[in-house]
Amino acid sequence: MPDSIVEQVRQVRSGSLTAVSLVERTFDKMASNSAINAFISFDRDKALAEAKKVDRLVASGGNTGRLAGIPLAIKDNIDVEGFRTTAGTPGIDYVASKSAPIVSHLTSEGAIVIGKTNMHELAFGVTSNNAAFGTVRNPADHTRIPGGSSGGTAAAVASGIVSGGLGTDTAGSIRVPAALTGVVGFRPSTSLIDMKGIVPSVPTFDVAGPMATTVGDVAYLASIMTHQTMPRPRNLRGLRLGLVKDYMVNLSSHVSRAVSDAFAKIEQAGVTLVEVDISPISSASFEVGFSVGFYEMKNAMAAYLAQMQPNTTLQEMIGKIASKDVKNTYVNSVLGEDAPSETTYREAIARIDGIRQNYLRLFEDHHLDALIFPATPLEAPPIEGSDEAVFLNGEYVPTLPVFMRNVAATGVYGAPGISIPLSASEGDHLPVGLEIDGRPEADLDLLGIALGIEAALVNA
């Protein structure tokens, strides 16, 4: 296990490790892991210049910040000053004049952006098979997908190129790749993150969040992004977690074994698992989610292009989409006959508050601290053929619904969710993710629970 971000910062501040050496090591690892295709763009000279500034501050006794010299990878739909933003699609391409606020929060504390990561085109998909910038490969097995849409950031962290980075999550786009690559991925509560400077997908559900190798590192990055205190690990004894039974069906044998083992360990640590049925709430969330999603994908993107790339129309951008699955979605469901009307959209928006109240009532009725379930029903499938279907328990099933199934509704609730990696069972190298979801805006509580669970799993 590499040193934590906090430990690396301590070493840089003490002078026992230079920021320059950290950045040089990062680019060396990027070169040796080039086959995973994690990055769309990077700037070694810019990163080294920033690292030298940090080292000069250390030498002079200046304030280096809470992320002094830490290299980070940023998903390429998030603006970083001086870097191209493409959102993984040929129709978007501009150099950002300023960073998104969430990036500025991190760089103002001494973090160094080394590059922009590859992703599923326009953040709409779960494979990161990007036809414009190339397929992202899973560091655990280069023949398999890393998940998406934040697959590049997940792969960069999982391969050890960086200790942390940022992704975005509308319907699972941080947590799915975190689960499939074996890293920690955190979706904050939607209301807590400033989404300025980020290419929109579905603004009602979009949120950006951190990815790292441990819950502690994710919590540290999240505390800086949201200006909150660092959470403390929760004592698990007496904790009540809702085991979502409808998310436990039709799991691969590998996922089933991994999560069952994890449940046994946390119960031994004092957690009470309470079986709950969330199907009425999640079903309503999917009905609302697609109506809101396809309507906002059109209007939000048109408005964004008008602001950031005024010489490109929405139709021109769609015409340049390279990935077949994304192109079909925009042509048929966003612009075509299947696109939701404004009336349908307004009706869907009006239902969201009721869904969120029912979600909170589930917690109250069962006296729950959080929900727990497998992040995905299947481990990372092979890249070949995965655009449309994957093989699960003897049959081919559509890729997108399978990997969205357990995690998409979290966005409709506006709630925080985190995927924690589970150790692969003996003889199997593919990671599995354990998802924990909390109450909206109770992010610190959720992270505290995740810290406690991570410790229980490691120490069991």
Active site positions, annotated: 75, 149, 173
* C-alpha to C-alpha distance for 404 and 442, rounded to whole angstroms: 23
* C-alpha to C-alpha distance for 351 and 409, rounded to whole angstroms: 13
* C-alpha to C-alpha distance for 459 and 451, rounded to whole angstroms: 12
Instruction: Say how far residue 201 (Cα) sits from the centre of its chain.
Output: 14
Q: What is the dihedral of CA 207, 294, 434, 188, to 10 degrees?
A: 10
What per-residue string of b and e applies to 294-331 under the rule 16 or more CB within 10 Å gives b? bbbbbebbeebbeebbeebebeebbeebebebbbebbe
Of 441, 40, 37, 375, nearest in space to 183 by CA: 375
Q: How far is CA 210 from CA 17, 180, 215, 218, 457, in A?
A: 24, 16, 10, 6, 21
Q: Are 422 and 205 in contact (CB under 8 A)?
A: no
Amino acid at 88: G
* C-alpha to C-alpha distance for 238 and 397, rounded to whole angstroms: 39
Contacts 24+ apart (CB under 8 A), 343-350: 344/291, 344/295, 345/291, 345/292, 345/295, 345/296, 347/291, 348/287, 348/288, 348/291, 348/292, 348/295, 349/204, 349/288, 349/292
Q: Could you tell me the two tokens for 340?
A: 């939701």
Of 171, 143, 177, nearest in space to 157 by CA: 177
Query: From start to end of 203-263, where are the E strands?
Result: 207-212, 240-244
Q: Are 460 and 265 in contact (CB under 8 A)?
A: yes
Q: Are 170 and 201 in contact (CB under 8 A)?
A: yes
